[in-house]
Amino acid sequence: MIVIRKNILLIATGGTIASKPTEFGLMPSITSEEILRHVPQIAEFCEVTTVQLMNIDSSHMSPNRWIQIVECVRENYEKYDGFVITHGTDTLAYSASALSYLIQNSTKPIVMTGSQKSIYLQDTDARKNLKDAFIYACDDKANGVKIVFDSKVILGTRARKTRTHSYNAFDSVDYPIIAIIFNDKVVYYIEEEINNNVIFYDKLNTDVNIIKLVPGIHPEIFDFIGEKSDVIIIEGFGVGGLPDYDGKNTLAKKVKKLIDSGKIIVFSTSVPHEGSNIEVYEVGNVIKSNFGILENYNMTIESTVCKLMWITAQYKDIKKVKEVFYTPISHDIVL
């Protein structure tokens, strides 16, 4: 039996996996070639080309850099069987969400990974995560944007960093993990087939912001953020709603003013699991009934932000925005 070796492109962007200590703290400085040399076993089962797209702390990751990653994948899409992107963990869930909307219907795997400790250390999760990412990228059933971390394969739209130090840093929020890497093999829980042609997008609207409710929040914050935003996500308490602190429904009036001025308002929740449902209580039901706002239900906040950046870069009509927002993409929302 002839085994065809896959050709994989490693796209390095920096992060802890590529960091070394400096007098000011850890800083990305290890190149893509150096990263690969730390895991020589990868060369035993695939051919790898590397590109150093950027070398940054992932706190510096931004929408324009997401577009750079997409352009790199697009330019090389026909040349390679899959892609592995090394990335810092702090914004990895945002980047995976963004790529899930900017690169849709990919029959080829676009695998994102990183580590909690640098690859140059002896005691690190980096080598295993990198090897596992390549194992998944080489699998015949692999496709779409995924995060591979701590032996888990997670949908890009469902991942969230839930631990700051532990190796099991990422969870799949309110959706099963796709697979695990076990004994250097991919064991699937969910298998997906993609039959459509890949679509690349190159525009994002960065005027999307979040207001996180805290008890006693100043109403003027809504005015200030409204001036700087096309879309405002209100991250509330529990299943959702707007409090009334002064008996005059000042917060509700602020939201109504924003809606009347053409802003898109989306309600979310600060609770990590099970999502929003603002119609349950009077504090939310009245708002939804009267204002016609959107609600992200069981979407992650990372996917909510990135989906709205993508949608509002393509469409301006609120009815179309609502239609596309509630259209599932890579299982980002379950209605």
Residue positions annotated with a catalytic role: 16, 89
Angle at the Cα of 245 from the Cα atoms of 240 and 246, rounded to 5 degrees: 145
CB 120 within 8 A of CB 26: no
Distance CA 62, CA 208 (A): 13
- CA–CA dist 254, 94 (Å, integer): 28
Q: Are 227 and 262 in contact (CB under 8 A)?
A: no
**Rounded to the nearest 10 degrees, how much is the dihedral formed by the CA atoms of 44, 46, 49, 51?**
-90
Exposed / middle / buried, residue 271 (Cβ in 10 Å: 0-12, 13-18, 19+):
middle
The whole-angstrom separation of Cα 85 and Cα 208 is: 25
Cα separation, 332 vs 335, in Å, equals 10
